[in-house]
Every structure is written in structure tokens, then in C-alpha cells.
Homo-oligomer: A and B are copies of this chain.
Amino acid sequence: MRDCNEIRVVVPINIALIKYWGKRDEVSHKFLRLKIMLTYENMLPLNDSVSLNIDEMYAETLVRVNSLINDDSVSVNGISIDLTENLRYKRCFSVSCKMLEVRRLLHEKTISTSCDIIALKFEIISVTNFPVGAGLASSAAGFAAIAYAFGKLFNFSDKEIAYIARIGSGSACRSIFSGFVHWKAGNLNDGSDCLCEAIASKEHWLSIRALILITSHEEKTVSSSEGMRRSTLCSDLLRFRAEHIVPERVERLKEAILARNFEAFAHIIMKDSNQLHAVCMDTYPPIKYLNESSWNLINLVDCLNNYFKQSRVAYSFDAGPNCCLFMESNFVPIILVVLKKFCNLSDDIIERITRSGVIDCDNLKEQIKNMEKYLDLNEIKPVSVVVKDAYLSCVGTGPHVIAQK
């Protein structure tokens, strides 16, 4: 290893279709908790989850690994992170060093024995193209980027990369893959059977689109980690969900994805999104991530599906108020017309979506124009939501390196 390695990567966010909520190694006893904190939580989820990676929202991260600089540093969107407050970065660095050390002890040839691994310092500069802290899995993308960069720099295996990502932020491990991803919780205490598996590639279901709607830029008051910790300790419904509902639901969702059955896909993911928020409500004190805009969008989706007499669009809300809509590409123009009419979606945003190339450009504009003329939406109950920003995306190809030296 040279004195300085540098890599620049792009890693997308992933959106959970079956939600991850709760860690199985979360312990209520304070002493035990402290012990786990000191020896690193293994970040083992209570239940399996399923996600898809999207292309349009990502973290672009520069990672420098150096034995000469004074100290580790992390900046996200230009803001320096206090690493004594946010311990997860140090844990990722330290776990990576341990992996390198183990490899050196095994005399693996890719590591120079002259390099002092303990003295390695890490410099991370991460920029996201979307707001952080608003329940859009920004930290997942951020840690996935770090883990992926380390993987490329140090020749870590996919399993090692996923482990580093998970140490940073549980669901980050799903962002390492492309397309539709199944994160298996596993059963073993050491976490060795906790791993991600591809369900289907981006190419398998080319027509599916995710439309992320930003209605609030506010940071949430209860972080996902804190929310999960509380739910694991307090919610009687969470364990039942994890043990009895999720396993069957994951199987049905995988079938729906493999069969490209949008109706089944929509129904399962909306029910699972609802259940995440039900578990938050069942927590004491209860946790509220949805706001009035979220509820108005839920009602709008329900109205639209009733109007079309089939599920043409589905919502999913992570631990935050912002909404992700899923639909097939032929339904995108209708949704844009509806959002323009009911949710103040601006022409600028529509123009940006049109230019993004995620959907056929000229045709899109023309279709929107036609629909505005001919589609009778009077049956749809008006709602009051202001969509401040929107990102349309295909299923993503996963992380990639953009520069390395």
C-alpha cells in the first residue's frame, strides 16, 4: 500500500420495499448495551428486508487513505462531522484496519508488511444530490460509498464490503448491489449468515419507475437508529411482524418482482410501509414520521387506484415524511399531471424530469399536454400538498468508481 490511496465513487440510495426496522442485537440492559457499544454492534436486523437501488439519488464520495496526515476527517455536503459524537465512522475505519491486519497476519501478498496499518488515517468528502436527514436513506448511501471505496482500495470481498457498510448504517449494505436486493437477516449470532442477495437485475423489470417526492426538508426529530432502538424495546407488535409477517411477505414480493406483477407488488409494499409506521405508533412514546402531506399523498394514491380500478401506483414511506411513488413508465405522465394539478408540482421540476432522460423526452411532454386536456380528474378528491422537489428514476445499476489514483 502506498502512503496515499484515493478513490472517488458514486453510490445510490436504496429504497426499502419490505422495511428493515429493529436490530436483533439491541439489548435493553444498560450495561450490556455499553459493552456492545464498546465491542461494536454487529447491526443484525430483526427481519429480512427487500429494496431496490435507484440511479438518480446518490452520494458522490471521495475517500483518501493516508498514513501521513494527522487525523481522520469526514465532511458531508461541506459540513464537517464531529467524529467523537458520531462513532460509526470510526467503527468503519477501525473494522477495515482490523480486516487488513488479519490479512497481513495471514501473509497475504497484496498488503505490504512495511505499512503501519494502525497509523492509517481516513479522509472522507461526501456530497449527496438530495437533502440529508429527511428519511431518504442518505446515511445508508454515505456509508455504502465508504464501504465500497474501501473495498476497491483494499480488495475487500463483497461480503466484507457489505459488513463495513452495515456497521455504518444497517441498510447501507443493500446499496452495494444493483437492481432488486434481498437482505437476509440470518440466524447466527456472529452475523455470518446475514447477507444480501440480488433478486433481479435492473434489466429484469425495465418499465418500473420510482418517483421520490420531497415535501419536507426538515430533519426528523427521532433518528432511525433511535426509533428502531425504542421500537425493539417497547413494541409488542414488532417481534410478531419480524417473525410471522415479514417472511411470507418477502416471498410474495419476490414472486411479484419475478413475475413483474405490479398489482401484487403495489399491494405488498403499501401494506409494508403502513406496517412500519404502525410499529412506530406502537412504540412508547410513539414515533411519528408521517406528516399531513404524507397522509394526503396516501389518500391521493388510494383515490387514483380506485379511479383506475387497479393499483397503478404505490407509495412507500421510510422513517420520514417524504414519499416514494412506484409505477410503471406508461403511468408516469398521468402521475405528473395529477401532481401538477393537486400538489403544486412546478413546470421547472417537470422540465428537469423530462430532461433527465429517465423517460422518453418528447413523448412525455406531449402526453402530459394531452392528458391535461382530456383526462377528467374531477372524481379525485383535492388534497393540499406542496411537492417541493421530485426525482424520477429507473431501477439502478448500483455503485461505481469514477476516479482512482
| Residues in A lying within 8 Å of B, measured CB to CB | 234, 236-237, 240-241, 244-245, 267, 270-271, 274-275, 277-279, 281-286, 288, 292, 295, 298-299, 302
Contact = CB atoms under 8 A, between A and B. Distances in A.
Given A275-B282, A278-B281, A278-B286, 18 more contacts: A236-B245, A237-B245, A237-B278, A240-B240, A267-B284, A270-B284, A271-B282, A274-B281, A274-B282, A274-B286, A275-B281, A277-B286, A278-B278, A278-B279, A278-B282, A281-B281, A285-B299, A286-B298
A281 B277 contact: yes
Nearest to A282: B278
Contact of A271 (B267, B270, B284, B299): B284
A267 B284 CA distance: 9
Nearest to A306: B285
A271 B284 CA distance: 6
Contacts of A271: 234, 282, 284
Given A237-B275, A275-B237, A302 B281 contact: no
A288 B282 contact: no
Contacts of A283: 274
Nearest to A239: B240
A284 B292 CA distance: 18
Contacts of A302: 285
Contact of A274 (B274, B284, B298): B284
Contact of A295 (B275, B279, B288): B288
13 contacts: A236-B241, A236-B275, A237-B278, A271-B282, A274-B281, A274-B284, A275-B281, A275-B282, A277-B281, A277-B286, A278-B279, A285-B298, A286-B298
A338 B282 CA distance: 26
Contacts of A282: 237, 271, 274-275, 278
Nearest to A279: B278
A282 B285 CA distance: 18
A101 B298 CA distance: 51
A177 to B, nearest CB: 28
A274 to B, nearest CB: 5
A237 B237 CA distance: 7
A175 B6 CA distance: 73
Nearest to A221: B299
Contacts of A274: 281-284, 286
Nearest to A274: B286
A226 B389 CA distance: 36
Contacts of A245: 236-237
Contacts of A270: 284
A270 B298 CA distance: 26
A299 B222 CA distance: 13
Contacts of A267: 284
A299 B292 CA distance: 17
A298 B245 CA distance: 29
Of residues A267, A278, A299, which shows the largest number of chain B Cβ atoms within 10 Å of its Cβ?
A: A278
A236 B271 CA distance: 10
Nearest to A277: B281
A153 to B, nearest CB: 44
Contact of A240 (B237, B285, B288): B237
